[in-house]
Each structure stands twice: as C-alpha cells, then as structure tokens.
C-alpha cells in the first residue's frame, strides 16, 4: 500500500509537458530568463572582468597583457594618494550622513505637521531634483565664486572675511555636500509618504493616551517608518562611497587632492594614467568595502528587530 501511495504522490507532483501546472511553473522562468541573462551579462560579468584585469599589467593592444598576480593591489596599497582618497571618501560619507540624511527626515516631519501649503511646499522640494547635476553645479560654482559669489556677499554682510570656497582644502568638501541640504528632493517626499502611511488608528490612539509632540515622533512615527530610514541609509552609504560626478565637476578632485574620492581615483587611473590594472584593482576593493558595509548595516538592522 505504501509503495502505491508513493507512486500516486509522485504522479501528482510531476507535471506533464503541456499541462496547466507545467505552464504555471515554466512561464515565470521564461519571462525572467532575458532580464536575468542581461543582468548577469551587464552587471556581474564586468565585475569578474575587473577582477581578471586587475591580475595583469593590462595591454589594450595585446590583451590581457602580462600576468602580475596581486602586484597591482600591492603597489596601489603603497600609494599615499590612494589612502588619501579613502580618507576623503569617508569624510564625504560623514558629511553626507550629517547634512543630507537626517535633515530631510526633519523636513518631512515638519511638513507632515502642516495643514495648509503642504502640497505647495512638497512641490518646491521636488523641483531641485529635476535640475540636471551639471546645471546645479554651474549655479553653485557661481554661488561659491570668491569675487562675485552670493556666499561671500552674505559673509561680508555679517562682517566676515571673504573665502576662496572651492580653492580651500578645508572648505571644498563642505561646499560640495551643502547644496544637497537645501533641496531635500525625493528623500523628503519618500519620508513624508512613509509618515503619512502610518495608520490613523495608531495616531489617534496615541493622541488619546497623551503621546504627542516629540513623544509621538519617537515612539510612534520613527518605529513605523524605520524600514524607509534603513533603506535610505543603505542608499546614502552606497551612493556616497561611489561619489564621482559632483567632486569632479566642482573641483576636479582638487585643490591638492582634497576632494579626490575613490571614484575620481579610479577614473584617473583609467583615463589619465592608462593603468587599467590599477583601476580595476581599486574598483574591486571599493566593491568589497561597499558590500561589507551593506552587510554590516543589514546585520545590525536584523539584530535590532530581534
């Protein structure tokens, strides 16, 4: 009897070609095959190619060139300029977290408390996000101009000394990150939508229990939007660690390498030095660091939930 029952179960679980169950199982894989194939080709293949190239003194005329093993990594780790670019990258990350991660959350909390003009202000927040990065940089380079820029006019009005903003190694990082504070952009709207998605029943119950003001923010709103805060934190770390366009367009990595990030270091290795092995090695190390930071963030998030 048991043998007969097992054969019946096997027949019931094995779908015949052309049957509805077979089509139901196969159709998703048929739909996902091309996207998965392109993802592997355009995303993962370049990663493995970068690691492969990093093991050679790459010759674009006669690729891949001479095999050198980990020599590109060892030479890169001995470069002071490489470690300075890492230092700049982490300073940018700290400034980004302090100025452009927490402030949009505060802006969203304040917008949520408004009854009038909320839609108008949210529209004003989204408009800067529609401006291309190159145009935004041109506007802010004019603002930071030492001779006729608006920033020095404001400093003079309050009795301060004019500054050479983008030419000062101590100020250039602040000048690059600061424009993100005023706009807010999509981050504010994402936080606002998450806050407005909190159940009204929970909010009303908290108000009846006397949980208002900062208590409501701390005990009701923030725990209920923690998923959005966590996602934004991961995206902030990933995008800042890969920062390239803004520092390059503002100061080309200067002055004296003060705004050179890992992205600019890799770009210069490929385009200025034509050292494809070193550029690939730096890319692989950057990928590993970002992956480790992301996994640590996810681990801490899971531990907090548990």
Q: Torsion-angle region of residue 185: left (phi > 0), alpha (psi -120 to 50) or beta?
A: left
**What does the pLDDT look like over 11-70, one tens digit per residue?**
444 556 667 677 778 888 888 888 899 988 988 898 899 999 999 998 888 888 899 989
The mean pLDDT value for 222-234 works out to: 87
The mean pLDDT value for 286-291 works out to: 94
Confidence band, pLDDT 50/70/90 cuts, at residue 306: low
- Percent residues over pLDDT 90 in the chain: 34
- Which of 3-12, 165-174, 204-213, 253-262 has the lowest average pLDDT? 3-12
User: How open is the CA angle 20-26-30, to the nearest 5 degrees?
Assistant: 135
With a cut of 60, say whether residue 291 has pLDDT above it: yes
The mean pLDDT value for 147-164 works out to: 90
**What does the pLDDT look like over 175-214, one tens digit per residue?**
999 887 766 677 888 888 888 888 888 887 877 777 777 8
The rounded distance, in Å, linking the Cα atoms of 41 and 225 is: 36
CB-CB contact of 225 with 259 (8 Å): no
Q: Which residues pair with 57 in a beta bridge?
A: 66
Instruction: Write down the pLDDT at residue 5.
Output: 45
Question: What is the CATH code for 72-305?
Answer: 1.10.3720.10
CB-CB contact of 106 with 222 (8 Å): no
**What does the pLDDT look like over 63-108, one tens digit per residue?**
888 999 899 999 999 999 999 999 999 999 999 988 888 888 888 8
Structure tokens at 299: 């681990």
* Domain locations in the chain as residue ranges: 2-53, 72-305
Confidence band, pLDDT 50/70/90 cuts, at residue 232: confident
Instruction: Write down the pLDDT at residue 16.
Output: 64
Straight-line distance from the first to the last Cα atom of the chain, in angstroms, rounded to the nearest whole number? 47
What are the b/e assignments for 276-295, b being 16+ CB within 10 Å?
Answer: bbbbbbbbbbbeeebeeeee
Q: How many CA atoms lie within 13 A of 205 on its CB side?
A: 8
| Closest to 146 measured CA to CA, from 169, 168, 165 | 165
Confidence band, pLDDT 50/70/90 cuts, at residue 304: low
- Percent residues over pLDDT 70 in the chain: 91
With a cut of 80, say whether residue 165 has pLDDT above it: yes
Choose between 133 and 146: higher pLDDT. Answer: 146
Instruction: Write down the pLDDT at residue 152.
Output: 92
With a cut of 80, say whether residue 10 has pLDDT above it: no
| Closest to 184 measured CA to CA, from 249, 93, 246, 122 | 122
Instruction: Write down the pLDDT at residue 9.
Output: 46
The rounded distance, in Å, linking the Cα atoms of 247 and 267 is: 12
Q: What's the pTM value of the predicted model, to 2 decimals?
A: 0.83
Please state, in angstroms and as integers, the Cα–Cα distance from residue 130 to each residue in 93, 97, 108, 174, following that order. 23, 22, 19, 23
The 10 Å Cβ neighbour count of residue 178 is: 18
DSSP symbol at 165: G
The mean pLDDT value for 205-234 works out to: 83
């Amino acid at each position: 009897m048991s043998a007969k029952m097992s054969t019946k179960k096997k027949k019931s679980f094995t779908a015949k070609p052309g049957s509805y169950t077979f089509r139901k199982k196969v159709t998703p894989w048929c739909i996902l095959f091309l996207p998965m194939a392109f993802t592997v080709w355009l995303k993962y293949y370049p990663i493995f190619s970068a690691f492969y190239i990093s093991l050679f003194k790459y010759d674009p005329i006669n690729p891949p060139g001479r095999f050198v093993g980990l020599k590109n990594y060892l030479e890169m780790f001995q470069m002071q300029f490489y470690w300075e670019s890492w230092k700049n990258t982490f300073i940018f990350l700290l400034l980004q977290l302090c100025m452009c991660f927490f402030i949009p959350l505060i802006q969203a909390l304040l917008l949520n408390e408004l009854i009038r003009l909320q839609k108008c202000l949210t529209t004003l927040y989204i408009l800067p996000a529609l401006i291309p990065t190159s145009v935004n940089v041109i506007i802010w380079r004019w603002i930071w101009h030492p001779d006729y820029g608006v920033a020095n006019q404001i400093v003079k009005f309050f009795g301060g000394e004019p500054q050479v903003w983008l030419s000062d190694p101590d100020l250039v990082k602040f000048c690059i990150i600061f424009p993100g504070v005023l706009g807010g952009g999509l981050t504010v709207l994402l936080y606002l939508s998450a806050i407005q998605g909190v159940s009204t029943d929970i909010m009303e119950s908290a108000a009846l229990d006397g949980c208002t003001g900062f208590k409501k923010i701390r005990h009701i709103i923030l725990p209920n939007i923690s998923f959005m805060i966590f996602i934004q934190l991961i995206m902030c770390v990933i995008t800042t660690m890969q920062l390239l366009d803004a520092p390059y367009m503002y100061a080309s990595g200067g002055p004296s390498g003060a705004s050179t990030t890992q992205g600019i270091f890799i770009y210069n290795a490929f385009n200025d030095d034509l050292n494809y092995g070193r550029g690939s090695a730096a890319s692989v190390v950057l990928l590993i660091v970002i992956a480790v930071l992301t996994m640590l963030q996810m681990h801490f998030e899971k531990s907090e939930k548990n």
